[in-house]
Amino acid sequence: MISRLLGRKKEDQAARWLARQGVEIVARNFTCRGGELDIVGRKGNTLICFEVRHRSRRDRGSAAESLTPAKLTRLQRCFEHFLQRHPQFQGLTPRIDALLFDGETTTPEWLENITGW
């Protein structure tokens, strides 16, 4: 329960940070049978799925290390479902990025195109 609350807090922090970067947030916590998309945003002609990852302790690995191949596959499938359910975004270039928080950092590391899609 506590980790879920911390996750929501980091997602809220990430959404505020993205808005300051000029990203228009179009959806949050979109769920489908295969998973969940934390944040979906639009910047220019690109529709971006943002996976927010946080690791408070380095002994459990970094936030980047938590992006497993299985997680990336689930993200891509869920994003495909999102695109099917929201045809208004057809014509935009889809991309999956990650926002990484390690420790107590308040500014995420932004990794672009983590699936190569």
Domain positions in the chain: 2-111
3-state secondary structure of 98: strand
Return the closest-CA partner of residue 45 out of 89, 96, 75: 89
CATH number of the 2-111 domain: 3.40.1350.10
Confidence of residue 5 (pLDDT cuts 50, 70, 90): low
Q: What is the pTM of this model?
A: 0.91
| pLDDT score for 55 | 85
Q: Residue 60 pLDDT more than 60?
A: yes
